[in-house]
Structure 1
């Protein structure tokens, strides 16, 4: 009986927890995102408008169009892809927000046959 009571209390406490998602606060602005490639940590800065996302990386600008699915999800498609892999659209989803940052996950918008769908997570911080 005690075990049942403890489980019931834990379920009630965890069911009341709600993740904050004020996604509309992050639809536009300038952000930074830190990521690791081959063990090297790098930081990318990007500017988002309602319709475009402009990445500034290693002195280059790279633009993508944005198609909003809802307030917390959008699809990025590069305007000038330089390779076949860059032609693939990326599905972005904001998972949680704070006052000046948001946690997100991203993956290919369309699953490739016979390949696992790789989902990555990150945190973007508003800089302006």
Structure 2
């Protein structure tokens, strides 16, 4: 699945399956951050997501993510576009 996002000044705007959503981004260190939806629509959306960047190239990064407090982790790749 693909999500497009724009990130600026601690705010991330996501576009997924025709829907737009806004989240706050709080950096823990250079490689880890927490994403939290500003206007969650249900209990599941109220949970924050921990993102950890594992590796980078010139225009991509591989990351691992999980719901804060959940041990199940997933992986993905982000690609910078213009």
Which band: TM-score by shorter chain? over 0.9
Report the structure, 1 or 2, having the larger helix content: 1
Question: TM-score with structure 2 length normalisation?
Answer: 0.92
Report the structure, 1 or 2, having the larger strand content: 2
| Separation in structure 2 between the aligned mates of residue 104 and residue 59 of structure 1, nearest angstrom | 23
Query: Match for residue 83 of structure 1?
Result: 42
- Runs (5+) with no aligned partner, structure 2: none
Question: TM-score with structure 1 length normalisation?
Answer: 0.61
User: Greater CA radius of gyration, 1 or 2?
Assistant: 1
Contact in 2 for aligned 1:89/1:110 (Cα 8 Å): no
- Runs (5+) with no aligned partner, structure 1: 1-34, 36-42, 112-116
| Separation in structure 2 between the aligned mates of residue 66 and residue 110 of structure 1, nearest angstrom | 17
The alignment status of 1:64 with 2:20, answered yes or no, reads no
Query: Match for residue 120 of structure 1?
Result: 74
Q: Which has the higher contact order (CA 8 A, sep 6+)?
A: 1
The alignment status of 1:101 with 2:55, answered yes or no, reads no
